[in-house]
DNA sequence: CGTTGGGTTGAGATTGGTCAAAATGGGTGG
DNA sequence: CCACCCATTTTGACCAATCTCAACCCAACG
């Protein structure tokens, strides 16, 4: 695993772009996601867009927020991949969330004086740095926005719960497959996937730190998935060649991602690959024995 | 691990107790915790107390909420131990949170139509069943309460993050030790510990499902901790005989529990065992290489 | 008492980790 | 275009942590 010697955030460039382009979905993956999943009206979206004016352009592999630091900004990923992670005293690293465009990195900064985890970039990326103060005030003023933030937090939590289950109870193969499934769904939502494939910029070491494994073992598992014809993966490009088989290998169900949205209306995924196949194979979760 | 065949909640008894005793700290561990950690005034506490009127008395090992069910109640633990867990299709179980008196089981029910995890009792216990609707309205009416709920959710999330790190990157021994440390701190907060010991009602199988291990392995690890003189543990009673050694074995730091409270004032733990010892041994988290 | 749910123990199998080297592959400076 | 460099991936041999299966024990309880 990465015995991480936190790179300093020397690659930081702050700039302020005039938020003239009001709430355009294409330029801000976060707004895109909110539009798809939350029932916010245009004025709410515009108000949020306004708060996203402060942008930070970061190089790959720099830390944006250090573990234990007072968190004075809420970061939203507009482009690139980011992660939040926890470091143990001896350098062992656990990546706790993988954040792709449209995701909020540290919503908890809104209510906690300091973050227990660090935030680091995985690729070059641009983040919106939102003032917690301003966001709290906006939420206090507009109920739909408060609800949206609470919903985002709840979905974040659901993801954490799912990863807990994976870390505790899924085999390495299941876990890797699960990650790949999840990413396809999430990236598709924000238009970062093409069909059954997507750009996969993570190194195997990063995957290992995310899944609680070793990069060597990740490598072997990936090769097995390749050999079994479930995926094609090389040169930072991933294609899921057998979606339903991969899904089965992972025990993947998209429920915990809450794509149905806040109001249950949700985005239209009628043509999405993960809606295909034997969804009737409901897990025997609720067996009454 | 427990290949769990969800027990049906046949042991359910609903009763309504008149909330005449206004906001008394001793009768409601939840209020006690709020009083210690959040800056709520008496009227806010009383309002919350009012919502906790609906009580449920449950036997040990029954499921209070089933996985995937619409969550129409927020449950607060007033007495006994509870857990939320996720079941995989083949019955593997991961306990995702351990809930002791004062804890909220499923705050996310406030904002998510259905819970991805189940809730089950570990001991006989009494829960308050709060109407999400009513709680949302109360929060909308009183800002301090909204802040408190958001804070509780954030702390819950921080705990999940810490468990993620443990599941992914701590050894079985570290993880077990970490659990025992955490429990001492949390139980002390709500007056359920005596000195360095507490009643520990979990079976080793439950501990295993919580830590992502096997009951057999938990057994061996516990024995090793016993042999090394770090703990005394038998007959459902646990005493931590060497707090600082156990803490060291776990790599435990109480930060993520956020005992300093919402406003940073916090409960008074000046005499608490976990504040002793070389806290100067700050982990080299932020090494700059 | 007999049953039952935990706790303990042992032997052996597996998964995943460690260490170290070799292969690959995309940059970069010349 | 080439030589080289670095990060990353891949491989192999071996090891360690943890799991599996199967007893066995024991205290609680009906």
Interface test with A, best of B169, B209, B261 (most A CBs within 10 A): B169
- Please state, in angstroms and rounded to a whole number, the distance separating the CA atoms of residues A166 and A170: 5
**pLDDT-derived band at B285, boundaries 50, 70, 90:** very low
Do A230 and A245 contact (CB within 8 A), yes or no?
A: yes
Contact A203, A218 (CB under 8 A): no
Q: Considering CB atoms only, which of B113, B156, B168 is closest to A94?
A: B168
Cβ < 7 Å from strand D, A residues 178-217: 203-205, 215-216
More confident residue, B248 or B284: B248
Other beta carbons within 10 angstroms of residue A265's beta carbon come to: 12
A50 touches strand D (CB under 7 A): no
- Report the distance from CA of residue A274 to the C1' of nucleotide D6 in Å, as an integer: 39
CA distance A178 to B134: 37
> What are the tokens at B65?
């909420």
Binary contact (A67, B285; C-beta < 8 A): yes
Question: How close A212 gets to chain B, by Cα (Å)?
Answer: 4
Structure token digits, residue B29: 């561990």
- The answer to whether the CB atoms of B154 and A153 lie below 8 A apart is yes
What percentage of chain A exceeds 90 in pLDDT?
Answer: 80
> What's chain B's average pLDDT?
89
Average pLDDT over residues B203-213: 98
Evaluate if residue B153 carries a pLDDT over 80: yes
Nucleotides of C under 7 A from a protein CB: 5-11, 15-20, 25-26
The answer to whether A56 and A126 have CB atoms below 8 angstroms apart is: yes
> Is the CB of B168 less than 8 angstroms away from the CB of A140?
no
- Residues 199-238/A with CB < 7 A to strand C: 212-214, 216-217, 235
Percent of the residues in chain B that have a pLDDT greater than 70, as a whole number = 85
pTM over the 0.85 mark: yes
Closest in B116, B164, B256 to A94, CB measured: B164
Distance from CA of B111 to the nearest CA of A (A): 5
Q: Strand B118-121 to strand B82-87: parallel, antiparallel, or no bridges (unpaired)?
A: antiparallel
> Strand A197-199 relative to strand A193-194: parallel, antiparallel, unpaired?
antiparallel
Residues in chain B closer than 8 A to A209 (CB atoms): 168
Rounded distance between C-alpha atoms, residue B118 and residue A286, angstroms: 9
SS3 of chain B: CCCCCCCCCCCCEEEECCCCCCCCCCCCHHHHHHHHHCCCCHHHHHHHHHHCCEEEEECCCCEEECCCCECCCEEEEEECCEEEEEECCCCCEEEEEEECCCCECCHHHHCCCECCCEEEECCCEEEEEECHHHHHHHHHHCHHHHHHHHHHHHHHHHHHHHHHHHHHHCCHHHHHHHHHHHHHHHHHHCCCEECCEEECCCCHHHHHHHHCCCHHHHHHHHHHHHHCCCEEEECCEEEECCHHHHHHHHCCCHHHHCCCCCCCCCCCCCCCHHHCCCCCCCCHHHCCC
Residues in chain B within 8 Å Cβ distance of A94 = 164-165, 168-169
State yes or no: pLDDT of B6 exceeds 80: no
Banded model confidence at residue B125, pLDDT cuts 50, 70, 90: very high
Indicate the DSSP class of residue A114.
B
HEC secondary structure over B222-272 = HHHHHHCCCEEEECCEEEECCHHHHHHHHCCCHHHHCCCCCCCCCCCCCCC
Give the pLDDT confidence score for residue A276 in this predicted structure. Answer: 54
Residue B69 has a pLDDT of 92
C-alpha A170/C-alpha A178 separation (Å) is: 9
Taking the CA of residue B189 and the nearest CA in chain A, the distance in Å comes to 19
The predicted pLDDT at position B265 comes to 77
Chain A nearest-CA residue for B163? A164
Instruction: Please tell me the predicted confidence (pLDDT) of residue B280.
Output: 38
CA contacts within 13 A on the Cβ side of B158: 25
Nearest protein residue by Cα to C1' of nucleotide C17: A214
DSSP letter at A104 equals B
Question: Residue B269 — pLDDT band, cuts 50, 70, 90?
Answer: confident
Q: Give residue A82's Cα distance to chain centre.
A: 8
Q: pLDDT band at residue B275, thresholds of 50, 70 and 90?
A: low
* Å from the A204 CA to the D12 C1': 19
Instruction: State whether A86 and B140 contact (CB < 8 Å).
Output: no
- For chain B residues 215-254, those near strand C by a CB cutoff of 7 A are 215-216, 219-220, 222-223, 234
| Interchain CB distance below 8 Å, B211 and A154 | no
Residues of A in contact with B164 (CB under 8 A): 86, 94, 96, 160, 163-164, 167
> How large is the average pLDDT for residues B45-58?
96
Query: Which residues in B lie closer than 8 A to residue A83 (C-beta atoms)?
Result: none
Sheet holding B237-240, edge to edge: B193-194, B197-199, B237-240, B231-234
- Residue B167: which of A84, A91, A168 has the nearest Cβ? A168
Which of B157, B175, B214 is the best mutation test for A, with the most CBs of A within 10 A? B157
Tokens of A55: 């942008």
For the cut 80, the answer to whether the pLDDT of residue B24 exceeds it is no
Task: Tell me the pLDDT band of B181, cut-offs 50, 70 and 90.
Answer: very high
Q: Tell me how far apart the alpha carbons of residues B144 and B129 are, in angstroms, rounded to a whole number.
A: 21
Determine, for residues A167 and B168 on separate chains, whether the beta-carbon distance falls below 8 Å.
yes
Residue spans of chain A under pLDDT 50 = 6-16, 18-25, 277-289
Q: Is A251's CB within 8 Å of B88's CB? A: yes
């Amino acid at each position: 695993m990465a015995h991480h010697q936190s790179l300093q955030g020397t690659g930081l460039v702050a700039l302020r772009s005039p938020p003239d382009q009001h709430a355009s979905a294409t330029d801000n993956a976060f707004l895109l996601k909110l539009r798809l999943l939350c029932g916010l009206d245009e004025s709410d979206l515009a108000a949020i867009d306004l708060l996203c004016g402060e942008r930070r352009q970061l190089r790959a592999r720099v830390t944006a927020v250090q573990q234990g630091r007072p968190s004075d900004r809420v970061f939203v990923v507009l482009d690139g991949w980011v992660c939040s992670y926890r470091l143990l005293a001896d350098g062992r690293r656990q990546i706790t969330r993988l954040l792709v465009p449209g995701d909020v990195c540290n919503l908890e900064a809104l209510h906690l004086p300091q973050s227990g985890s660090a935030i680091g970039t995985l690729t070059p990326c641009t983040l919106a740095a939102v003032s917690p103060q301003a966001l709290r005030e906006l939420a206090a003023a507009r109920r739909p926005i408060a609800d949206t933030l609470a919903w985002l937090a709840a979905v974040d939590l659901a993801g954490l719960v799912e990863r807990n289950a994976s870390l505790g109870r899924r085999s390495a193969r299941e876990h890797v497959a699960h990650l790949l499934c999840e990413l396809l769904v999430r990236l598709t939502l924000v238009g970062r996937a093409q069909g059954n494939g997507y750009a996969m910029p993570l190194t195997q070491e990063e995957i290992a730190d995310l899944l609680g494994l070793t990069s060597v073992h990740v490598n072997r598992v990936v090769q097995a998935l390749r050999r079994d014809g479930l995926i094609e993966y090389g040169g930072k490009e991933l294609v899921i060649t057998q979606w339903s088989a991969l899904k089965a290998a992972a025990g993947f169900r998209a429920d915990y991602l809450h794509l149905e949205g806040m109001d249950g209306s949700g985005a239209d995924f009628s043509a999405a690959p993960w809606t295909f196949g034997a969804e009737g194979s409901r897990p025997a979760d609720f067996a009454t024995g």
